[in-house]
Amino acid sequence: MTGRFITLEGGDGAGKTTQAEMLTAWLGEHGRTVVRTREPGGTALGERIREIVLHERGHVSPRAEALLYAADRAHHVQTVVRPAMARDEVVLQDRYTDSSVAYQGVARGLGAERIRSVSDWASEGLRPDLTVLLDLDVTVGRARVAAARGDTFDRLESEAEAFHETVRRAFLDMAEVEPDRFLVVDAAAPADHVQDVIRAAVAPLVGIDGA
Position 160, amino acid: A
Q: Does 15 bind ligand TYD (CB under 6 A)?
A: no
CB of 32 to ligand TYD, least distance (A): 23
Query: Binding pattern to ligand TYD, positions 97-136, x when CB under 6 A?
Result: --xx--xx--------------------------------
Nearest C-alpha neighbor of 135 from the set 93, 100, 170: 170
Rounded to the nearest whole angstrom, what is the least distance from the CB of residue 96 to ligand TYD in the complex? 7
Decide: is 69 part of the binding site for ligand TYD (CB under 6 A): yes
Nearest-CA neighbor of 123 among 103, 99, 102, 107? 99
Indicate which single residue of 7, 22, 35, 40 sits in contact with ligand TYD (rule: CB under 6 A).
40
CB of 172 to ligand TYD, least distance (A): 16
How many angstroms separate the CA atoms of 118 and 165, rounded? Answer: 24
Residues that bind ligand TYD (CB under 6 A): 12, 16, 38-40, 54, 69, 94-95, 99-100, 103-104, 156-157
